[in-house]
Every structure is written in C-alpha cells, then in structure tokens.
Amino acid sequence: MTKNKNTIEKYMDGFNKSDHEQILSCLTEDVEWEMPGAFHLVGRDAFDKEIENDAFVGSPAITITRMVEENDVVIAEGAVRVKKKDGGFLNAVFCDVFAMKNAKIKRLTTYLVEVK
C-alpha cells in the first residue's frame, strides 16, 4: 500500500475512534475540507472543531469499500453510520476526494448521501 493510502486509512481509523490527534496528524497545516452545499473549512483548527459535530454523539462507524489513487489524489468510497443527538442514526454513503502533499491531506472534498 502507498504512503498516501496509509494516511487515508489512519485518518479514517482516527474518526472511528474519535481520536483528534490521530486525525490531525494526517493533515497539512493549511488543509481545506469542503462538503459542497454544507460547508467549507480552512485550517487544522477549523477541521478539529468539525471532527465531533454537535449533531451527533459517539464515534462513527466508517467502512471503506474502495480506495483508488492516481498521482497525489486518493478517492475513497464507503459508508458511515453514526448516532444522531436527537435520536436515530445517520446512515450514509460517501465519496471522499483527497488531494495529498507529502503523504498528508492538503484538501478534502466530501460527497455524502443519506441512505434511508
């Protein structure tokens, strides 16, 4: 497995454990995270605040079903399940596009669709 893919696996594992330090260690200082139509964050501090979103409780269960890489771009597809603070669960599928720099995440674009 490549260094970039290893970083993505470490990043996802960090979310599964709600381990902020593990997640942040995978990012560049000037990281950008965009979820079109929802938010656009710049910098590790902004990213850190979104790791445990106020709408959810506990750690998510993230499963990667496919990961491909070309040059310094890694695309990961998968599913996520997390408990909502107001009851029930969010079940969704995602496609994350990671632009990498020196085996760290420089930019992340997340496409997320809730599965009902």
pLDDT (tens digit per residue) in 75-110: 999 999 999 999 999 999 999 999 999 999 999 999
> Residue 62 and residue 40: Cα distance in Å, rounded?
21
**CATH code for 3-114?**
3.10.450.50
Residue 11 gets which letter from DSSP? Answer: H
Residue-wise pLDDT for 22-74, tens only, equals 999 999 999 999 999 999 999 999 999 888 788 899 899 999 999 999 999 99
Domain ranges of the chain: 3-114
pLDDT value of position 105: 98
Residue-wise pLDDT for 8-18, tens only, equals 999 999 999 99
**Beta bridge partners of residue 89, listed in sequence order:** 83
Confidence category of residue 116, pLDDT binned at 50, 70, 90: confident
**Beta bridge partners of residue 100, listed in sequence order:** 105
